[in-house]
Structure 1
Amino acid sequence: MFSILNEIGNNSHFRTTAVVIASIGVSGFIYILVAITGYLSFGNTVSDNIVANYGPSLTSTIGKAAIVILVMFSYPLQVHPCRASIDAVSRWRPNRRRSNDNGSPAFSPPPKAARPDNMGEVRFATITAAILVASYIIAMTVSSLSKVLAYVGSTGSTSISFILPGLFYYKISSPDSSLHQRLLKEDDDEESEEDGGGGGQEEHGLLGGRGLKSGVGRRRLVRKLSLALAIYGMVVMVVCLVTNTLFVVAH
């Protein structure tokens, strides 16, 4: 999503939503088509790799060649963000917050965006080699694709769907977060522009006070729900890992 927002010409909410729906819709249609054709051809005896079920023929050879091309060109595309993520995580250091004289954290504007540090050649080669060696060892050790997908789904899917979104919102919505203060200011500016002009200042102030209280209560509730979502994702991850280890991998 970050790459799409940076690259798309019109990154409005409507446009990005249309892109997401179109991409997921096309992918879902292809997956459903392959699933239906595989079931119609082999029933319950279809294997993890549907191409392996077909005998030697021109069409199956073309399908296998297409899979080879897919893996050959998609692997570098997967290594690129993986290398960037490993580099960013290894460079991360916790920020020390300044505090007032009374001990409470002081609000400070977000720092200016520093110039991104380019990855050195030695660091680039080291991270890339580690990814290649690790993936090669896994590929040569594991013989069943379903086992790999089971662990990827248990860890990656739960993290993307439940854990990370909950933690992101819980972190951003913290009252001590400078980003949270800036978002609140932007919301207040938008509300003031929408309600601007006209009289009834006393009535507007009364309604504004009620809206402020309801808004604060809603934000607190959503913040608690985001933490609950992250905890729920961690529980699902543990349950899935234990289940996959006892049932999928053991058999």
Structure 2
Amino acid sequence: SAYAIPTMAFSFLCHTSVLPIYCELQSPSKSRMQHVTVTAIGLSFLIYFVSALFGYLTFYDKVDSELLQGYSRYLPRDIVIMTVKVAILFAVLLTVPLIHFPARKAVLMVFFSHLPVSWICHILVTLMLNTVVVLFAMYVPDIKNIFGVVGSTTSTCLLFVYPGLFYLKLSREDFISRQKLGAFALVIFGICVGLLSLVLIIFNWINE
């Protein structure tokens, strides 16, 4: 599927939360942050893997892009399905502020850095971002389209392209060194995967 790699890239994208989490550590250090990262990614992978496995074993090639919708169609009043929905509701509500903080800060830095800090600007940007999110949620027909486009563009850049470019820019090693060649390969891989996925998604839209 054209959505597979972009969706995985989107799912494991947690870069925007790294700095706030690092600042909240009791004794911030590189080793502690690595431990937090490995634990979080490992648990996320386990949850995604179990969900995907049982979703496939249940529906095979008829899996919906929203897995719970598939289960709800066949078990509309099942207590387990309802419990999972409520759990996801609370998880999303508690996650939104963590994701919203870097988004708002980026908008303020890019577009309003020349203005003095004010609560009015702060509130207006917050309302604007929330409005955009709600409009997407209301009018985008399938969530896989969001995962696909965002995953093939911003997620691949944040996961592969930008880290490689930063290393190439900041490192003083020779370009033919193993580290710089690896960083360059990471950049090329990210660009190719992102562009190929985006093109396939667009062709998929045209065919549909």
Range class of TM-score, shorter chain = 0.7 to 0.9
Distance in 2 of aligned mates of 1:68 and 1:5: 26
Select 1:35's aligned residue among 30, 37, 52: 52
- Residues 243 and 92 of structure 1: is their aligned pair in 2 closer, same or farther, counting only changes over 3 Å? farther
Alignment partner of 1:244 out of 188, 201, 207? 201
Corresponding position of 1:143: 141
From 40, 53, 64, the equivalent of 2:70 is 53
**Does 1:233 find its partner at 2:158?**
no
Give the C-alpha shift of residue 225 in structure 1. 5.5
Residue 233 of structure 1 deviates from its aligned partner by: 2.6
Distance 2:168 2:81 in 1: 50
Indicate the residue corresponding to 1:152 in structure 2. Answer: 150
Aligned to 1:77: 98
Shift of 1:144: 0.5
**3-state SS of paired residue (2:174):** helix
The DSSP-based 3-state class of the residue aligned with 1:247 is helix
The whole-number CA distance in structure 2 between the counterparts of 1:217 and 1:246 is: 41
2:21 counterpart of 1:64: no
Contact 2:22 2:33 in 1 (8 A): yes
User: Residue deviations 1:153-186, cap 9 Å, x none?
Assistant: 1012211122111221233237xxxxxxxxxxxx
1:161 is matched with which residue? Answer: 159
1:10-29 equivalence runs, <5 A: 10-29=27-46
Out of 165, 171, 174, the residue aligned to residue 173 of structure 1 is 171
Closer, same or farther: CA 36–222 of 1 in aligned 2, 3 Å: closer
Q: TM-score, normalised by structure 2?
A: 0.75
Specify whether residues 49 and 218 from structure 1 end up closer, same or farther in structure 2 by C-alpha distance, changes over 3 A only: closer
Aligned pair count reads 187
**Structure 1 unpaired stretches of 5+:** 94-116, 175-215
CA distance in 2, matches of 1:33, 1:232: 28
What is the deviation of 1:222? 4.5
* SS across alignment from 1:217: coil
Give the direction of change, closer, same or farther, for the CA distance of 1:43–1:90 in structure 2 (3 Å limit).
same
The answer on whether the counterparts of 1:147 and 1:249 sit within 8 Å (CA) in structure 2 is no
The structure where helix makes up a greater share of residues is 2
Is the 1:147–1:248 contact (alpha carbons within 8 Å) kept by the matching residues of 2?
no
CA RMSD, aligned part only? 2.8
Which whole-Å CA distance do the structure 2 matches of 1:222 and 1:121 have between them? 45
| Greater RCO (CA < 8 Å, at least 6 residues apart) | 2
The normalised TM-score by structure 1 is: 0.64
Which residue of the other structure, out of 98, 106, 127, is the alignment partner of 1:129? 127
The gaps in structure 2 that reach 5 residues or longer are 1-17
Supply the distance in 2 between the matched residues of 1:74 and 1:9 (Cα, whole angstroms). Answer: 21
Give the SS at the match of 1:148: helix
Aligned equivalents of 2:165, 2:113: Cα separation in 1: 17
**1:181-223, Cα deviation, whole Å (9 max, x unpaired):** xxxxxxxxxxxxxxxxxxxxxxxxxxxxxxxxxxx53687755
